[in-house]
Amino acid sequence: MAISEEVALYNAGHELTDHLVYGRLALAERDPANRELLEKLSAQEKAHCAFWTELAPAGKRPAPDVLALSLTPLLRRVMGVTFAIKLLERHEKETLSLYEKTLTPLMPPSHRERFAAIIDDERNHARELVGRIKDRRVEYVGFIALGLSDAIVELTGVNAGFLGATGSTRAAGLSSLIVGFAAAISMASAAYMQAKQNEQGAALPASAATGATYLLAVILLALPYFLLSAMVPAFVASTGVGLTLLAALTFYSAVVFERGFVREFVEAAVLMLGTAGATYALGAVISRFFRVALPG
């Protein structure tokens, strides 16, 4: 049994997409070293496309994935070049597994040597090149993650605690803004000192990234308490915002640092929800105690 022409045409289109995406990323890259690395990746994928095109039906040309061509440069602009490339490489790992386990035994003898070289490219060369990409945004991911995760857990707990104590959405929203503003200054100061001591990135940008991220999370988490007057819908909406922010942060970190997404997200979500439940219960207990203890 040999590789079908349709499978070859599909793989040619996949490699063509990667070739064009890396080429577009290279054109948008200002750093000369990064541009050179991206051009090498693009050239590799072009050669892989040519290989598969030889096995595709005669007269048919591979077609690129238009969605990937449009979204990847946008992701690069918003999330950074490292995120865009490693997201591509995640799919490359799946392709490599397919090549090694399924397609190698089906490869015609005349093409096996070249196919082995392609597998070697996918396994080693691209990974080595990606590891050399320089992206200053990644230097501040740790500080941003620190600010965002701390804000989500802390402010969700504050909101839940005030809801348990007062039952007022307005009080919960105001308390989270006040506490959050003070905490943002504290976190920014801590990030500044940590960056100076560890020599990890510039201290001022690290501090600004942490503080700005924290404030953004504070505003987004508090907003439902001003828009909704009922306690349960406001808390559910704010918690949903927190889970969404956690999911985005966890996915970014999982891609950039090549970690598992599901486990880390579940751990973060359990921590956030556990904190909210504990502080809500504490607020309710304190409220009942003072209502009994305070005179008439």
Residues 15 and 152 in one domain: no
* 87's tokens: 């997201």
Does the pTM surpass 0.85? The reply is: no
Report the domain count for the chain. Answer: 2
Largest CA distance in the chain: 93
Residues 116 and 212 in one domain: no
Residue 167 three-state SS: coil
Cα 95 to Cα 92: distance, rounded to the nearest angstrom: 5
Domain range enclosing 122: 5-134
Q: What is the CATH number of the domain that holds 73?
A: 1.20.1260
* 116's tokens: 């082995």
Residues 108 and 36 in one domain: yes
Tens-level pLDDT at each residue, the chain (296 residues): 567 778 888 888 988 998 998 898 888 888 888 888 888 888 988 998 998 898 888 778 888 888 888 888 888 877 777 778 777 777 777 777 777 776 777 788 888 888 888 888 777 755 666 666 666 666 666 567 666 777 787 777 877 777 766 767 887 788 888 888 887 888 778 777 766 766 555 777 777 777 888 888 888 888 988 898 887 788 889 889 888 988 888 888 788 777 788 888 888 888 888 887 888 787 777 777 765 333 33
Indicate the length of the chain as a whole number: 296
Residues 194 and 86 in one domain: no
Residues 253 and 281 in one domain: yes
Residues 91 and 162 in one domain: no
Residue 114 three-state SS: helix
Residues 157 and 100 in one domain: no
Last residue of a domain, one of 134, 163, 192: 134
How confident is the model at residue 140, as a pLDDT?
Answer: 63
Residues 116 and 204 in one domain: no
Last residue of a domain, one of 117, 134, 151: 134
Residues 125 and 266 in one domain: no
